[in-house]
A and B are shown apart, each in its own frame.
Chain A
Amino acid sequence: MSTDERPIRCDACPVMCYIKPGMAGACDRYANENGTLIRVDPHVLLDRTIAEGGELVPFLEEQDWDGSQHRVPRTFVTAIGAGTTYPDYKPAPFIVSAEVDGVDTVTVVTEGIFSYCGAKVKIDTDRHVGPECAPVRAQGEQIGHVTTAEYGSQMLSLGGVRHLTGGSKKEGRVTCDTLLQLCNGKPVELTIDGGADLVVEAGNAPIVNGVPEERMRVGCGSATIGMFAKQWHGLVDEVVVVDDHITGVLSEHQAGKVLGVPDTGIKIRGHRSTPGRYFRVAEPGTGWGGTNLSDPLTILKPFDPKEAWSGLRMFMVSTTGEHYAYYELDESLAPVEKELPPALRQSVERIHENCEPALCTVLFMGGAGGSLRAGVTENPVRLTWSVREAQARVTCGGAPVYVWPGGGITFMVDVTRVPANAFGYVPTPALVAPIEFTMRREDYAGLGGHMHEVKPLETVLSSGRKLHLGSPAASPWPPASPAKKLS
Chain B
Amino acid sequence: MLAHMLPDGRRLRLHDGPIDLIIGADGTSDEICKAYGAATRRFTTILDELCSELPNLRESQGPEPTGSVACRMWQAVLPYREERFITPMAAVAGAVAEEILGCMTETARLDRAYVNNGGDIALHLAGNAALKIGLIDRCDRPSLFATTVISAQHPCRGVATSGRGGRSFSLGIADAVTVLAVGAAEADAAATIVANDVDLPGHPGILRRPACDLQPDSDLRTLPVTVSVKSLEIGEVEEALDRGLRSATSLAARGLILAAALHLQGQTRCVGATNAKPQVASG
- Which A positions have Cβ atoms within 8 angstroms of B? 7, 12-20, 23, 25-29, 42, 45-46, 48-49, 52-53, 55-56, 58-66, 139, 425-427, 464
Contact = CB atoms under 8 A, between A and B. Distances in A.
Interface residues of B, number: 36
Contacts of A61: 4, 6-7, 13
B82 interface: no
A27 B2 CA distance: 14
A29 B167 CA distance: 10
Interface in B155-176: 167-168
B229 interface: no
Contacts of B141: 425, 427
Nearest to B216: A18
B217 A18 contact: yes
Interface of B: 1-8, 11, 13, 15-18, 20, 22, 47-48, 51, 54, 134, 136, 139-144, 167-168, 213-217, 231
A49 B13 CA distance: 16
B17 A12 contact: yes
A58 B7 contact: yes
Given A17-B217, A25-B18, A427-B144, A59 B7 contact: yes
A427 B135 CA distance: 13
A53 B48 contact: no
B142 A23 contact: no
A19 B215 CA distance: 6
Nearest to A7: B216
Contacts, number: 90
A13 B215 contact: no
A25 B134 CA distance: 27
Nearest to B5: A62
A13 B17 contact: yes
B167 to A, nearest CB: 5
B208 to A, nearest CB: 16
A367 B24 CA distance: 37
A455 B10 CA distance: 22
Given A15-B18, A17-B217, A59-B7, A26 B167 contact: yes
A27 B17 contact: yes
Contacts of A55: 8
Contacts of B48: 14
Contacts of B231: 139
29 contacts: A14-B51, A17-B215, A19-B215, A20-B214, A23-B215, A26-B17, A27-B18, A28-B18, A28-B167, A46-B20, A49-B134, A49-B136, A49-B142, A52-B134, A52-B143, A53-B134, A53-B144, A55-B8, A56-B8, A58-B8, A60-B7, A62-B4, A62-B7, A64-B2, A64-B4, A66-B1, A139-B231, A426-B143, A427-B141
